Structure 1
Amino acid sequence: MTPETVITLVQNGLFVLIIVAAPPLLVSLLVGLLVSILQAATQINEMTLTFIPKLVAMFLVMILAGPWMLSTLMDYITRLFQSIPLVIG
């Protein structure tokens, strides 16, 4: 196994990680920003107020994007397992 092969495998793994993690992280960021703006406008300074909307939003994202995330991970793992003979020999 050459260093180029290892670097390619790590790059592909990190790319899949970023693609799969992006929807939940972006939704969490947007919901947190909206709740922060609402808190600033109403001068409600409750720190725990952001958790419930974020949890609900993350739950909805996992329901809606979960099958896509799972299929993306399964495709990557399948390609990784199929490339084992090429990497070894």
Structure 2
Amino acid sequence: MLTPEIAAGLVSNAIQITALIVCVLVVPSLLGGLVVSVFQAATQINEQMLSFLPRLLITLGMLIWGGNWILRTLSDLFIETFKQAGTLVG
């Protein structure tokens, strides 16, 4: 039977996995943006493309590099959730 504790555990697990996946994609982009910002401040170049393009390329690189892990992690989460759904409902 689905109790509030079990439901909270399922939601908590889903939020943790989502936060981990977002961190894998966003943190490298933030670090790249920080490096570009320091470079822009040191050289006083205020070109918008200089701040946007490296972050875009870093995010795309992380999707390529970690995409397999992200898909595997999400599929494991959904498979485990649907396996538990049959026993929890009813």
Structure 2 length-normalised TM: 0.92
RMSD: 1.1
Partner of 1:71: 72
| 1:21 and 2:12 correspond | no
Letter in 1 for 2:21: V
Matched-pair identity in %: 38
Listed as ranges, the matches of 1:3-82 within 5 Å are 3-82=4-83
Q: How many residues align?
A: 89
- In structure 2, list runs of 5 or more residues that go unmatched: none
Displacement of 1:3 after TM fit? 1.1
- Aligned equivalents of 2:88, 2:21: Cα separation in 1: 25
Counterparts of 1:16 and 1:81, CA distance in 2: 16
Q: Which runs of 4+ in 1 moved over 6 A?
A: none
C-alpha offsets along residues 6-63 of structure 1, whole Å, 9 cap, x if unaligned?
1111101101101111111111101100000000110112234211101111111100
Which stretches in structure 1 are left out of the alignment for 5+ residues?
none
CA distance in structure 2 between the aligned counterparts of 1:4 and 1:79, rounded to whole angstroms? 17
Partner secondary structure for residue 44 of structure 1:
coil
